[in-house]
Amino acid sequence: MSQPHSQRQIRIGLVGTFEVANFGDCMFPVVYRRLLAQRLPDCEFRYFSPRAAERSPLADYGPVRPLPARLEDASFDVDVLIQCGGETLSLGHSSGTYNFPASSLSAFARMWLAPTLAASRGETLFFVHSVGMPTINLAPQPLIAKGLEYANKVSVRDAVTSDRLGQKFPVEADPMFALSDCLDREVFEQKARAVLPQAFEPNGYVCAHISAPYLADGIEPWCEQILQITSQTGLKVLLLPVCHFLWDRETLASARQILIARGMAPENVQLPLPGHADVDATAALIGMSGGVVSSSLHALVTAVSFGVPFAGYGGKGKSAGKHRQTLLAAGIDFGVVTDVSQLAATLGEVRKQDLEAVREEAIGRALSGFDRLVASISEGEREARPMPADLIECLVEQDRAPTRHLGQEAKRLILRMLKSVPAIAAALETRHRAKLLKIVSK
């Protein structure tokens, strides 16, 4: 590290939830890698996620390394760490996606506390860039803000997260708004055509997506909106899985049967061909469409990046949810609803907007924030500012708080043991999928 970054290859570690089979989670490292490579040509990239040796099949960016399970192991063989994307600023063990033992760090603490500690010792640079904070477990917010002061630079993706952290860190637009700048449009079109069903052409279809947890009132009201949209626009319907870990394909296959029963020609309502799950292919299908209707935040962000009309469903009654807040940071105060019955009308209203101007503004904001990140990296200055031992102790105490309920911890332990047996893990996954699909058929 004695040489300035400009004179040698920079080893950059990207930190996120890259093992989750979700378009946004897996697109983040691809976008960061491409934007960084455009600005810092001599880079070597490494990838870090909470779990060991697990990587989603949605993108092939090489091996993913596990984040340290304990703070004494918080050491990284990179020059720069960047935490990118998602609602990952929090503390506390969960029993959901990441069920870790109480003796280890939670997924949240692995993603920001371990890198911050390494940075505070002067071992690496650590940047938290345009990330959010979930609404769960809000008690330790001031403590998290205090801990993040020992990172080299922190920004958040929305004003709500900034407020929760005492407005100590600036809001910078999600860099995925610049996704369309990462590859030539012709490349995206080629990728889209490779997975489009027969007789589907760019701009001739609407991408329609919904994940089962958003279907509190069943799938029929959503299907009704898709029928209205096809009637208004004359577009075909591409039912596009986005959140694969929520079994979108099964949900959308059910929607297809309903839409056909309601009069749509089978050839006009289809799912994409195999290969569509690749993040570049998913982005291309959205970018080459004539409109997007989705419950996925980053499907909407992608639509904005390509200047495509969109209507987002952020969840029943969630007026200040992550969808709207993330768009607001890019200068967009429209297009997200909290009532499924408003989707068709909203898409019609968005189509009246100057979407090219909206696109340019969003990309401009995203790239301005990204260039500030790159400027901080290029400075390459590290100063050892050791995080106080009492602060570390308090953070770890908060991280382990959810594990102190003996009944809940016993359930977590049993669940971990069961999931360690492949056959039982598969059965549990099937049961969970069945529960979600029951919501769909309500």
User: 432 CB contacts (<8 Å, ≥6 apart)?
Assistant: none
Q: Are 306 and 181 in contact (CB under 8 A)?
A: no
pLDDT at 437: 65
Rounded Cα distance, 365 and 423, in Å: 48
Instruction: For the chain, give the number of residues.
Output: 442
CA distances from 338 to 61, 77, 342 (A): 35, 45, 8
Report DSSP letters for 234-286, one per residue: --EEEE---BGGGTHHHHHHHHHHHHHHTT--GGGEEPPPTTTTSHHHHHHHH
CA distance 379 to 75: 22
Q: Which of 287, 309, 299 is nearest to 188 (CA)?
A: 287
Write down the pLDDT at residue 41. 85
CA-nearest of 152, 153, 133 to 143 is: 133
pLDDT of 206 reads 98
pLDDT of 4 reads: 46
User: How confident is the model at residue 55, as a pLDDT?
Assistant: 62
Helix H or strand E encompassing 313: strand 310-313
Nearest to 300 by CA among 227, 379, 233, 355: 355
Closest to 80 in 3D by CA, of 36, 110, 50? 36
Question: Alpha-carbon distance 86 to 82, whole Å?
Answer: 13
Other Cβ atoms within 10 Å of 196 Cβ, number: 24
Distances (CA, A) of 259 to 210, 214, 323: 14, 19, 27
Is-contact 242 282, C-beta < 8 A?
yes
E strand map for 17-138: 43-49, 64-66, 80-84, 125-131
Report the number of secondary-structure helices (H) and strands (E) in the chain: 16, 12
Per the DSSP assignment, residues forming a β-bridge with 424 are: none
pLDDT at 442: 62
Give me the pLDDT at residue 419, please.
75
Give the residue carrying structure tokens 């029951």. 438
Report whether 45 contacts 80 (CB < 8 A).
no
Per-residue pLDDT of the chain (442 residues; tens, 9 = 90+): 344 444 568 999 999 999 889 999 999 999 999 999 999 988 999 999 998 666 677 888 888 899 999 999 999 999 999 999 889 999 998 767 788 888 999 999 999 999 999 999 999 999 999 999 987 666 788 999 999 999 999 999 999 999 999 999 999 999 999 999 999 999 999 999 999 999 999 999 999 999 998 998 889 999 999 999 999 999 999 999 999 988 999 999 999 999 999 999 999 999 999 888 899 999 999 999 999 999 999 999 999 999 999 999 988 766 668 999 999 999 999 999 999 999 999 999 999 999 999 999 999 999 999 999 999 999 877 778 999 999 999 999 999 988 888 777 788 777 777 777 777 777 767 776 666 666 666 6
CA distances from 10 to 37, 113, 129, 283, 383 (A): 11, 23, 18, 28, 18
